[in-house]
Amino acid sequence: MRFAIDTGGTFTDLAIEDDSGRLHQFKASTTPDDPVVGLLDVLEVGADALGLTRRDLLQRGDMLLHGTTRAINAVVTETTARTAFLTTAGHPDILLFREGGRTRPFDRRREFPDPYVPRSLTFEVPERIGSQGEIVLPLDEGAVRLIADRLIAVGVEAVGVCLLWSIMNPAHELRVGRILAESLPGVPYTLSHRLNPILREYRRASSTVIDASLKPVMTEYLRGLERRLREAGFAGRVLVSTSTGGVMDAIEVADAPIHALNSGPAMAPIAGRRYADADASMSTAIVADTGGTTYDLSLVQRGRIPSSAETWIGEPYLGHMTGFPSVAVRSIGAGGGSIAWVDEYGLLHVGPQSAGALPGPACYGRGGDRPTVTDACLVLGYLDAEYFLGGSMKLDTGAAQCVLGALALTLDLGVEEAAQAVLDLATENMVQAIEAITIDQGIDPTQAVLIGGGGAAGLNASAIASRLGCPRVVIPQTASVMSAVGMLLSNLVGEFRATFVVSSREFDFVGVNRVLSDLESRAAAFIRSAGAADADSSTTFVAEARYPNQIWELPVELRSVRLISAEDVDTLSTDFHRIHEEVFAISDPESPIEVVSWRVRVDCRLSEMDLARVADPNHEKGSRSRPVWFPPVGPRNAGVFEVSEMTPGRAVDGPAIIESPLMTVVVGPGDVVFLSEWGSLVLTPAAGCEETSTVSKSGRRSE
């Protein structure tokens, strides 16, 4: 039995794969002050539903996979450890200068951002390694020991070390690490050449200090998690999801916690890809994960999940770059808990502020006094106040009407009209975010399927698809816990890289194959340490290549583990030209290429699990209906159907509401939906439907 638990901003999700391969899904409120409490709470909910005690349930498990926002929250809220930065003398401003670039070049009111580590905690090490690995200036060990004394004096809790060209010769970084271990026992440190051996000093330095700053926080969290799980009865393996779309053992994440920065969001596209394959025959899928706090978006193209090396914490150029490739996920502050508010000019806004888990939306009855998207959906009749989370949580309709009523007075609208305005604006924010990752990048959303994940996915998925022209929407049966299901479908992943610059015109076969041999050995060692057999693992070798004098590289997958002939180099060049054409719409086949670095990714399969039907109990409620507000006609009597009572393949025409214990799907007038063999709801938005009137941000109705 395997457990996957994703801790979100509002709810903590649990997916259980039992010994027969059936899936069970549950939710409990997140506990921001101590996320492990919410994790244990959702296990309690799952145990109760299965007729077990929590200890009995945990004792049956052999693996627990965990997605956590602990790392990213620590960075965003600036609650990481007090961290020092050690770098080569003469280069103290690496973190300050960054890489340049501005998203709003003419906005002079924006202050230049502070570096991740302030100058007061930046220390210059007398040494210098050259670009070929030669020692230009020997390391001054006495100066390093004096720096160590100053680190103790200022109360440093972690240290990041990034020396120039340590990727070519790590001798000085290694010696600095040994001195730190001797002088500051118990204080964690990160060496850049071990963590992230890449060119570009800012990216390497940024990843190094971020990783070091997270070590005390994540080590305490993960050790506490494992200890409390053991005390609760779990004796299996604990793994954590990573930004690359895989999982790692918790102890390895504690050693390199930067990999957990996008722990949860990177998992939704893993599941979304499987559902796109199973329920739609389209090569492009837009995977949207609607949570209580954020709306996370990713793409699947030709069965591949794109990754990005341009991964920033916060706004590009103003935030901090992680320096690691990550599953390309775009997040905006739009979710079920997003707060609706009116500014001083009378303009309506939704988000990015969120009511979170505490106090939550007003309808949760926990003290929330501001209108949210969830409150709006309850007022519109989309949600059943008696059946939220399968009836385990009752919603307060009166409280939702009260906060929406106050908003309606401000906008000079009726309560339902104000609720519709809130939902319309949230939908528009989501549409614009999708357009940014599709239309703005030359991808046609009318040729894509929209995969809706998250507990709030079904509330406006049809409206989003209609705005974008998406011909089909798939709402998986596991939509409300899709990130957790993605963990169950993911692999144990290890990535290793090395810098070795070579040109296709003067190709160093000996040097390149030496690098590839070393990477292959490290991959084999990872497979052995993971306890995986060769049949359960795969390795992918990649060359990071560019045209001469270009700034950025493109990843090119190698067709073989070694490059032994001119034909192999020609094949690599041809593949690069093709990829460059796909990305930039131009290529130069007559030009040589330059490979800057090499890497290998190892995927070890953890389970034979494929998509499976959810083992939810049958909730027989019979034929029902209720009034639901649909623009522009107002209230319509909509049929209400329980997912477990639907017959696969039989269509249901809108207007209708499709419900399950953890999910509600709104089927608008003219929409058609049916249940697939995998238990997904496949919805076709109304084709060519007339434009409905909308409410603008000012709150005025436009026709």
pTM: 0.87
pLDDT at 33 over 90: no
Q: What is the mean pLDDT of residues 497-523?
A: 95
Residue with the bigger pLDDT between 14 and 534: it is: 14
CB-count burial class (<10 Å; 0-12, 13-18, 19+) for 608: exposed
pLDDT, residue 619, reads: 58
The percent of residues above 90 in pLDDT, for the chain, comes to: 65
Surface-to-core class of residue 96, CB atoms within 10 Å of its CB (0-12 exposed, 13-18 middle, 19+ buried): middle
What the chain holds in terms of domains, given with CATH numbers, is 2-75+219-260 (3.30.420.40), 80-215 (no CATH), 491-604 (3.30.1490)
State pLDDT tens for residues 625-666: 899 988 877 888 999 999 888 888 899 998 999 998 888 999
Mean confidence (pLDDT) of the chain: 89
CB atoms within 10 A of CB 606: 22
**pLDDT given at position 623:** 65
Listed residue (173, 215, 198) closest to 83, CA to CA: 215
Strand partners, 495: 601
Which position has the higher pLDDT, 306 or 629? Answer: 629
CA 284 to chain centre: 19
Nearest C-alpha neighbor of 196 from the set 244, 238, 239:
244
CB 258 within 8 A of CB 217: no
Please report the pLDDT score of residue 689 as a whole number. 40
Amino acid at 602: V
DSSP 392-427: TS---HHHHHHHHHHHHHHHT--HHHHHHHHHHHHH
Taking a C-beta distance cutoff of 8 angstroms, is the pair 479, 663 a contact? yes
Reported as a pLDDT band with limits 50, 70 and 90, residue 675 is very high
**69: Cβ–Cβ under 8 A, 6 or more apart, which residues?**
7, 8, 9, 35, 263, 264
- Is residue 687 very low, low, confident or very high in pLDDT (cuts 50, 70, 90)? low
Check whether 695 has a pLDDT greater than 60. Answer: no
pLDDT in tens, 345-356: 999 999 888 888
The answer to whether the beta carbons of residues 537 and 603 sit under 8 Å apart is: yes
- Find the range with the poorest average confidence among 72-81, 151-160, 299-308, 359-368: 299-308
Confidence at residue 692, expressed as pLDDT on a 0 to 100 scale: 35
Eight-class DSSP state of 642: E
> Mean pLDDT: which of 273-277, 530-534, 556-560 is highest?
556-560
pLDDT digits (tens, 9 = 90+) for 653-663: 989 999 988 88
Share of the chain above pLDDT 70, in %: 95
- In this predicted structure, the answer to whether residue 587 has a pLDDT above a threshold of 90 is yes
Residue 484 and residue 267 in contact, taking contact as beta carbons nearer than 8 Å:
yes
User: Is the Cα torsion angle 115, 117, 118, 123 positive or negative in sign?
Assistant: negative
pLDDT of residue 51: 94
Output the pLDDT for position 615: 63
Task: Say yes or no to pLDDT of 697 above 60.
Answer: no
Tens digits of per-residue pLDDT, 106-160?
888 878 889 999 999 999 999 999 999 999 999 999 999 999 999 999 999 999 9
Highest mean pLDDT among 206-210, 583-587, 622-626: 206-210
Phi, psi dihedral angles at 413 (to 5 degrees): -130, 165
The average pLDDT across 464-472 equals: 94
- HSE at residue 3, side-chain half, CA atoms within 13 A, is 30
Phi, psi of 597 (to 5 degrees): -145, 165
pLDDT over threshold 50, residue 700: no
pLDDT of residue 520: 96
| Nearest C-alpha neighbor of 592 from the set 576, 613, 608 | 576
pLDDT in tens, 421-433: 999 999 999 999 9
Closest C-alpha among 127, 175, 124 to residue 150: 124
Query: What integer pLDDT is reported at residue 76 of this predicted model?
Result: 82
